[in-house]
Amino acid sequence: MPLEQVLVLLCAAAGAGWVDAVVGGGGLLQLPAIMVTGMPTVEAMATNKFSSVFGTASAAVAYARSTKVDRQVALPGAALAVLSAGLGAWAAASISAEVLRPAVMVVLLAVAAFVTLRPAMGAVPEPHLRTQGRVAAAVATAGVGIAFYDGILGPGTGTFLIIAFTAILGLDFVSASASAKIVNIGTNLGALLVFGTQGHVQWALGLGMAVCNVAGAQFGARMALRRGAGFVRVVLLCVVAAMVVRLGWQQFG
């Protein structure tokens, strides 16, 4: 691979780490950058997962040091996510992305409308929403549904996790982002285990990108912690809009 392409990928990895750390959705930047090099789709997805798992883990540590992580949801959700994302990655070859993209776009548009029409959502915690039933629903949604989606398709997994934790449990956006990182480690690991055993990961390139992803993730996590839920909300809406545009272009462009 030419040096110029490698440098572009390293920069994309740093930017993706920042976006992922703040609100998820870094794959919108990193995965297309890898695919532009001509790498086969499955190898690009696998290398993207390898790089991302380091950045996500780094961001999770940064959040855990400064804000509360909902361990009652994040830990069992992450454990389930390893299995569910692995199943999604295994099924990726047999389920067409063209079938899934329209449904994902509808969900994203609903998310954007929901967050826009409820400006108070995620601004402050709403502990009255938390019940045992809602905790179980959040674990299942994150550890099974969203994790399977991450294995089979992927874009915006971190964003979906944040929205799920905010809407179901009443977490503020910063706490939801902190908890989402733990589950996202599980989704990345589950898919990576499958892709790795199938020989699809470009290990050397992925390791270089991982270093840059970690650097971007550290910067993004600290910025989100410093600026708070309002900043995260704005970035979330921007990322959702970018995902809708990208998926629409892939589906209809």
What secondary structure letter does DSSP report for 93? T
CB 234 within 8 A of CB 36: no
Query: For the segment 17-61, what is each residue's pLDDT rounded down to a tens digit?
Result: 999 998 888 887 888 889 888 888 889 889 999 999 999 999 999
Tokens 């855990």 appear where? 64
Residue of 217, 22, 28, 179 whose CA lies nearest to 104:
28
What secondary structure letter does DSSP report for 122? T
Domain range annotation of the chain = 3-252
One DSSP character per residue, 204-242 reads HHHHHHHHHHHHHHHHHHHHHHHH-HHHHHHHHHHHHHH
- The CA angle 15-16-17, to the nearest 5 degrees, is 90
Mean confidence (pLDDT) of the chain:
89
**Is 8 within 8 Å of 168 (Cβ atoms)?**
no
Question: Could you tell me how many residues make up the chain?
Answer: 253
pLDDT digits (tens, 9 = 90+) for 93-130: 677 667 767 877 787 788 778 778 777 777 788 999 99
**Whole-number percent of the chain with pLDDT over 90:** 56
Which percentage of the chain shows pLDDT scores above 70?
A: 98
Q: How confident is the model at residue 253 (pLDDT cuts 50, 70, 90)?
A: low
The tens digit of pLDDT for each residue in 177-217 reads 999 999 999 999 999 999 999 899 999 999 999 999 999 99
d(CA 84, CA 117): 32
Backbone angles phi, psi at 246, to 5 degrees: -65, -45
Q: Which two three-digit tokens encode residue 58?
A: 């780094």
pLDDT-derived band at 11, boundaries 50, 70, 90: very high
pLDDT at 98: 72
- Reported as a pLDDT band with limits 50, 70 and 90, residue 245 is confident
